[in-house]
Structure 1
Amino acid sequence: MVTTAQTDAIDDLVYDWLAETGAPGASLVVTDDTTEQYAAGFGSRDIDSNTPATPDTLYGVASVTKSFATLAVLQQVERGKLALDDPITRHTRVAFEGADEITIEELLTHSSGLPNLGTSEVLLARLADLGEIGIPLSDRDDLYQFLGDAGAERDQHSQDRFQYSNTAYILLSHALESVADRPFDEYVEAEILDPLGMERSTFDAEAFAADDDHATPHRSVENGFEPTRFPARQLSRAAGGLISSPRELGKYLRCNLQGGELDGVTLVDSALLGRAHDSHVDPLPRYGDAYGYGWSRRTVAETVVVGHGGSLLTSSSAIGLLPERDLGIALCCASQPELHPTVVLDGIVAILEDDSPEQVVPELGYRSRVDALTGRYESYRGIISATVTDEGGYLSVDIAAGPIEEEHVLVPDDPTLTGDAGTADRVWTFTAPRSGRPMPVEFVDTGDGVDLFFDRYRLHRQSA
């Protein structure tokens, strides 16, 4: 059961996130394995009309789609039409050198040896009106032509390495289509969305635009966000093309919490779905502690979170399962702010575990404390001055002595900026990279204010 105190804290967290980042709006659902526990909309789904966001607002959920693609593949594995150890060449016409060594399971886990090849970057830049990269990539023939020399990217340096790949999931959708004998989007709608009652979820951009409760896509500009067109990528629907609402994603989360069942309908064998949620490879830190099939695993506030995020440049999203608590969370945003919904979702997990988001989520901890360090500093009699600025994960410091100026980057030794609580005065330590000789830097809370110890200088904070 989610308590009123927890939902109040969640409201504060989400509201502060939108206020800090300038994102137009967001929608949230928290569910247990049978019942929606909490649902809310925050801000607006359209920045021009200021129309409120609701739990039913539709968003492009981007890479959250990968878990749906995984479920579709596992359905075909259960039916005996695909096998996890099948080479992808058995079910597609991909033919670059070494393609016959790549298995379906390796594509699911981003461990095929293929690095990110930039397909999504090309399509998103073009379709969201962000600019043109100049690669012809419009249909399947273009894709296979583009992949012709990709085998050279897959060598002893990249094999067995986790490398997140949207192209991998495009190829998985082609394998699915070859055995299911229908397009990927039609398959997912018939075999997953319809059985779960996800009636408004779709891959159809026109249906999305015609829906009375959809989030206008907003792209980042210098002073905030502005409306733009929806970047519908028919070529990469399996990698990131699903459109859904947090409320409908709640049904999907309940199905996963129930082992592949919902309301008497079984979508996949529970053991196969369990493999998707399990740990198979060690990813890069931003993707969690482990990666399964279209799902990542991480520990937040001492509880396991199985989830995935999505970034569409014009919207962003995150889903998470808390299997130890039988809870699920879906969070979608009407833009892609600097602080991603996956970070906020982790903060929600901390609240549900009666912990402090700032204490257990590094990014939230950093942002809650960095303001105490930024601002203008001066040395004795003001001869030396410095301006410390937050650059989103690190600081920059501009130091001036009259006409003499220099700029440095300061990297925090502790990304949460908790500070050294074992000293009489709180100390935050940073490193200023220098060729061959990095320089330690300290901020010290003396009780009278914050002082910056940089090289030979001691500077006192004057203002924020």
Structure 2
Amino acid sequence: MATTPLSAETTRDVESFVSQWVRDEGVPGVSVAIVDKTDVLYTNGFGARNLETNAPATPETLYGIGSCTKSITTVAILQLAEDGQLTLDDSVDTYLPHLREVNADPITIHELLTHSSGMPSDGSLSALITRLTGRSEQDPNQPLSSDDDFRRHIEGSVDERLTDRDRFFYYNTGYYLLGEVIESVTEQSYAGYIRDRILEPLAMTRSLFSKTDFEAVENRMTPYNREDGTAVEGKLAFDERLYAAGGMISSVTEMANYLQMFLREGTFDNQEILSSESIDSMTKPYATREEYLDEREQGYGYGVAVEAFLDDTLVNHGGMMGTTTAWFGYLADTGIGVVTMCNTAPEKRPSDLGKALLAITQDEPPSAVVPTYMLEQKAEPLLGEYASYHDIRTATVSKNDGGLNISFDDPGWSADHYVYPKRLQSDDYQYSFITDTGKQVPVEFHVDDDGVSMLFQRWQLHKQ
């Protein structure tokens, strides 16, 4: 059943946007929750959790949340730090042998939390997810079936570490190792500790990790792959070695409780899960993950990304496990958060949807503030067929990720160019590309009441 204390107008805008997203992205089913510090403002499901039976997605439907689990693992590590059982400056070598042979200084727990150890991805979790979700044609046949396999794989990768620069590498294996640290310190299974110290106090009693527990639940997602524009039933990845980096299963209803814990500075139902000081340290950026075209940086704290958004600070994380995707995020000052989960991996991810819904709650059109939709709106009027004076040269402009493909198919002049935008703003139509001689060539579009024209090197072409 839906919960809707949002205004009628905002509710209509939210539901219209999500419904359109489901149609446009070919998503079988998605569930959404919107919360503030005190209330669940909105929950609902859209589409089917199972296409064959047409069973609906609901707020209680269980999905794989992928790398959103990293923040759960972080909470556990910070709890152990508060309890005096470890410190974030501890070398991982204190607890595990996997990285003892790395060059330069030993790698610390802090560096694993922030993906700042200098270790690039070793591909272990990607390879395992590929195998477990049935993509056998892409399986690199790496032995990854036991803890010893993982240890040998990680030990063999230590020479890959970069120490001559500060570089953010999203290192899934680091969170696998943090899960191992939790087990070493507590002498308890990772899943058992998370259940006892985090899930039960947050009333997240349906959240789980194992395949057996998942298949015992009726209201659960059926995973789907996207193949040639069609949803084809796939598999969900289950393995204990995936748990700490991306293996939790949950619902938007229960992850709403988790978000409220952050909005309440570490407490839920009068229980302190983390101190407010630990919440502050977790949500402070320590490394730069990426930079947007408008020069905003997406930082990374402990298990969460941190960035400027809607004149606020957005704390968030996404997750993808091949056939399931999820995202959570909240505006720190405004005090409102969103959780989105779906049962496939669409081109526009739940992270794009979630940011759009935050924008709608703040009366902002997503196309004005969410980069994915800003770039889409920028591209929309430019797509189509173009011709120069007397049709001597013609071109086709099509969308390609955040940029455009410009294809010329004229005798003696055939060429394909990928052009990328110079700025993020949706009304700025300046693009450029790099030639094989290393030159940066501007491509400029003009959009007005008379139509659309493109300036490309010596040519002016007009949209037909």
TM-score grouping bracket, smaller chain normalisation: over 0.9
Secondary structure of 1:299 counterpart: strand
Q: CA deviation at 1:248?
A: 0.5
Of residues 240, 244, 253, the one that matches 2:250 is 244
Counterpart in the other structure of 1:448: 450
Please tell me whether residue 388 in structure 1 is matched to residue 394 in structure 2: no
Secondary structure of 1:346 counterpart: helix
Secondary structure of 1:284 counterpart: strand
* CA offset digits 1:281-327 (Å, max 9, x no partner): 22223896221110111111111111111111111111112221222
Counterpart in the other structure of 2:76: 72
Q: Trace 1:296-335 onto structure 2 (pairs within 5 A).
A: 296-335=305-344
Moved more, 303-312 or 45-54: 45-54
2 CA distance for matches of 1:137 and 1:457? 55
Structure 1: gaps spanning 5 or more residues: 420-427
Of residues 84, 103, 107, the one that matches 1:102 is 107
Please tell me whether residue 412 in structure 1 is matched to residue 421 in structure 2: yes
Secondary structure of 1:431 counterpart: strand
Counterpart in the other structure of 1:458: 460
Please tell me whether residue 153 in structure 1 is matched to residue 160 in structure 2: yes
Of residues 352, 356, 359, the one that matches 2:361 is 352
Q: CA deviation at 1:378?
A: 2.0
Whether contact under 8 Å (1:363, 1:415) holds in the other structure is no
Secondary structure of 1:11 counterpart: helix
Whether contact under 8 Å (1:18, 1:24) holds in the other structure is yes
2 CA distance for matches of 1:370 and 1:344? 19
Q: Percent identity?
A: 33
Whether contact under 8 Å (1:59, 1:332) holds in the other structure is yes
Moved more, 391-400 or 13-22: 13-22
Amino acid at match of 1:140: D
Please tell me whether residue 210 in structure 1 is matched to residue 211 in structure 2: no
* CA offset digits 1:378-427 (Å, max 9, x no partner): 223333221111112111111122475221111111234322xxxxxxxx
Counterpart in the other structure of 1:431: 432
1 CA distance for matches of 2:104 and 2:67? 24
Whether contact under 8 Å (2:236, 2:321) holds in the other structure is no
2 CA distance for matches of 1:178 and 1:156? 27
Counterpart in the other structure of 1:376: 385
Q: CA deviation at 1:429?
A: 1.4
TM-score, scaled to structure 1: 0.93
Counterpart in the other structure of 2:238: 232
Secondary structure of 1:329 counterpart: strand
Please tell me whether residue 125 in structure 1 is matched to residue 162 in structure 2: no
Counterpart in the other structure of 2:116: 111
1 CA distance for matches of 2:179 and 2:262? 21
Whether contact under 8 Å (1:96, 1:147) holds in the other structure is no
Structure 2: gaps spanning 5 or more residues: none
Q: CA deviation at 1:197?
A: 1.1
Query: What CA RMSD, in Å, does the superposition of the two structures yield over aligned residues?
Result: 1.9
Secondary structure of 1:309 counterpart: strand
Q: 1:41 to 1:288 in 2, by over 3 A?
A: farther
Q: 1:50 to 1:458 in 2, by over 3 A?
A: farther
Q: CA deviation at 1:377?
A: 1.6
Counterpart in the other structure of 2:289: 283
Counterpart in the other structure of 1:23: 27
Number of matched pairs: 453
Q: Trace 1:50-199 onto structure 2 (pairs within 5 A).
A: 50-94=54-98, 95-98=100-103, 101-130=106-135, 131-158=138-165, 160-199=166-205
1 CA distance for matches of 2:26 and 2:86? 45
TM-score, scaled to structure 2: 0.93
Secondary structure of 2:153 counterpart: helix
Q: 1:88 to 1:34 in 2, by over 3 A?
A: same
Whether contact under 8 Å (1:89, 1:99) holds in the other structure is no
Amino acid at match of 1:356: P
Q: CA deviation at 1:376?
A: 1.4
Q: CA deviation at 1:266?
A: 1.8
Q: CA deviation at 1:367?
A: 1.4
Amino acid at match of 2:79: Q
Amino acid at match of 2:75: L
